[in-house]
Amino acid sequence: MTTDWIALEERYYAQTVRRQPVVLVRGQGTRVWDVEGKEYLDFTAGWAVTNLGHCHPVMVQAIQEQAALLIQTSNQFYTVPQLKLAQALIDNSCLDRVFFGNSGAEAVEGALKLARKYGKKNRDGAYQVITAYNSFHGRTMSTIAATGQPHYQEAFQPLTPGFVHVEYDSVEAIIAATNDETAAVMLEPIQGEGGVNIPADDYLRRVRDWCDKQGLLLILDEVQTGLGRLGSLFGYQEYGVEPDVMTLAKGLGGGVPIGAFLSKEHCMALEPGDHGSTFGGNALTTAAAYASTKHIIDNDLPGQAKAMGLRLTQRLEELKSRFSFISEVRGRGLLIALEFDDDVAAKALSLSNEAGVLFNMVKPNTLRLMPPLTISAEEVDEGVGRLEQALSKL
Ligand SMILES: *Cc1c(COP(=O)(O)O)cnc(C)c1O
């Protein structure tokens, strides 16, 4: 059965992604089942997306009700779920205005257009955006140029101009890279796809100060860190700074494709006609995202992520003291990396699959753990138990 579906993929699908040999057909909470009926604990959550777990009743109900009511209208008209979601995000963040797209890359594209226009209007045509090495901002032509990882860029030269890459977690590097053409600095509060890289506690605060001094926009790409993942509703709250512009996607829709960029009033340079989207902010995805976001806020899921993140980190530290080949456990909230001192992550991943727990390999020597924010203490322990079983075979 599994092999039949894999053969179909090999025959028909563009061979651009390296998949695990698992064909998933059903999910409930933190668990998923494959086509053979095998059950797994899902510590990937659709890549930090299914924040309420799989098929949470609140999500299912919101999607079913909205699907029966109205799915898509285009933005030629007003729709109710879009405006309810907009209000929920603005009322619960430091930002003043929001635009909805369909993915993280689209959210970043929108933020970049905003920065270009802002530079044109307010900074004498400044257009450069400073981003960090090992960052990840998406896979479209401009977001790969923003992304500070050459292996995403090399085959697609020439890249969109206007990006300057600097070392992450170095304010001095940003200061040195700033010039008359600089319009914005764009950073992830914690680099997710780049390996769960956590900056010094005062990094964002000091970057904020520099941006204020120079009149630069600070864009925080919270596509991965937003909506509770780090233990606060937004990552910037963990670091006591306010961005001028913020992007969201992954956890925003709880599983449906939606992205957003949000901006403070003073830098919302975009005007009627400057930006748009056919599907962006449609009634179905915003109804789902509203249900998910409201549930996260009403039930303090960021607080739960913080508590479960501490428990998970502690359990992993116990594994580290047992297995000498684990070199580091690091994370914040429920965004955690397990690093090995050898390139054994692929082997650890496939043994974990067998043991019934799913992880993401973020580097050849690193697994990334990002379970649903709703994960229970028992599920944390059970998942780590299955991981332990896998690692004892390494
Ligand atoms: C995943 C990610 C993106 C891209 O999101 P897509 O929905 O895959 O386009 C952008 N920025 C960050 C920080 C991400 O983690």
Pocket test for ligand 1, best of 188, 223, 248 (most atoms within 8 A of CB): 223
| 266 and 291 share one domain | yes
| Residues 126 and 37 both lie in one domain | no
pLDDT (tens digit, 9 = 90+) per residue, 312-370? 999 999 999 999 999 999 999 999 999 999 999 999 999 999 999 999 999 999 999 99
Residue 53: pLDDT band by 50, 70, 90 thresholds? very high
Residue at 145 is within a domain: yes
- Tell me, yes or no, whether 69 and 130 share the same domain: yes
- Please indicate, yes or no, if residue 323 is contained in any of the structural domains: no
Residues 143, 262, single domain; the answer is yes
Query: Six-digit token pair at 127?
Result: 């257009």
34 lies in a domain?
yes
Q: Is 223 in the pocket of ligand 1 (CB under 6 A)?
A: yes
Distance of CA 199 to the CA centre of its chain: 17
146 and 241 assigned to the same domain: yes
Among 298, 326, 344, which residue terminates a domain?
298
Q: Per the domain annotation, does 184 fall within a domain?
A: yes
End residue of a domain, out of 246, 268, 298: 298
Q: How far away, in angstroms, is 224 Cα from ligand 1 center?
A: 7
* Closest ligand 1 atom to 192 CA: 15
**193 lies in some domain:** yes
Beta strand pairing call for 31-34 and 24-28: antiparallel
Among 294, 293, 282, 288, residue whose Cα is nearest residue 70: 282
Residue 364 belongs to some domain of the structure: no
Domain of residue 231, CATH code = 3.40.640.10
Same domain, 247 and 144: yes
Number of domains in the chain: 2
Say whether both 23 and 122 belong to one domain: no
* Catalytic residue annotation: 136, 221, 250
- C-alpha–C-alpha distance, residues 195 and 394, integer Å: 22
**Residues 54-107: tens digit of each pLDDT:** 999 999 999 999 999 999 999 999 999 999 999 999 999 999 999 999 999 999
The answer on 208 and 184 residing in a single domain is yes
How long is the chain?
Answer: 394
Q: Is the CB of 30 under 6 A from ligand 1?
A: no
Ligand 1 contact via 144 beta carbon (within 6 Å): no
> How far is it, in rounded angstroms, from Cα 361 to Cα 338?
10
Q: Rounded distance, CA 204 to CA 171, Å?
A: 8
104 lies in the same domain as 156: yes
- pLDDT tens digits, residue range 254-290? 999 999 999 999 999 999 999 999 999 999 999 999 9
Kindly state whether residue 354 falls inside one of the protein's structural domains: no
Do 117 and 29 have their domain in common?
no
Select from 12, 252, 388, 308 the least CA-distant residue to 4.
Answer: 12
Q: Please, are residues 100 and 260 in contact by the beta-carbon 8 Å criterion?
A: yes
Of 239, 264, 298, the residue that ends a domain is: 298
Residue 105 Cα to ligand 1 midpoint, Å, equals 6
Question: In sequence order, what DSSP letters do the residues of 139-182 get, joined into one string?
Answer: SSHHHHHHSB-GGGTGGGPSPPS-EEEE-TT-HHHHHHH--TTE
**Interhelix angle 283-298/301-322, nearest 10 degrees:** 70
pLDDT for 155: 96
Residue 138 one-letter amino acid: G
pLDDT (mean) for 101-123: 98
pLDDT at 373: 98
In a shared domain, residues 13 and 70: no
Instruction: Record the pTM.
Output: 0.98
pLDDT value of residue 90? 98
Q: Residue 33 domain-assigned?
A: yes
Nearest to 240 by CA among 94, 91, 108: 94
CA distance 168 to 178: 15
Q: Residue ranges of the alpha helices (H) in the chain? A: 2-12, 45-48, 57-69, 80-91, 104-122, 141-146, 171-177, 203-214, 235-239, 283-298, 301-322, 345-355, 377-391
Token pair 């940003």 in the structure block, residue: 174
Q: In a mutational test of the pocket of ligand 1, which residue from 224, 246, 279 has the highest number of ligand atoms less than 8 Å from its CB?
A: 224
Query: Based on the domain organization, do 120 and 185 belong to the same domain?
Result: yes
Q: Which domain holds residue 30?
A: 1-42
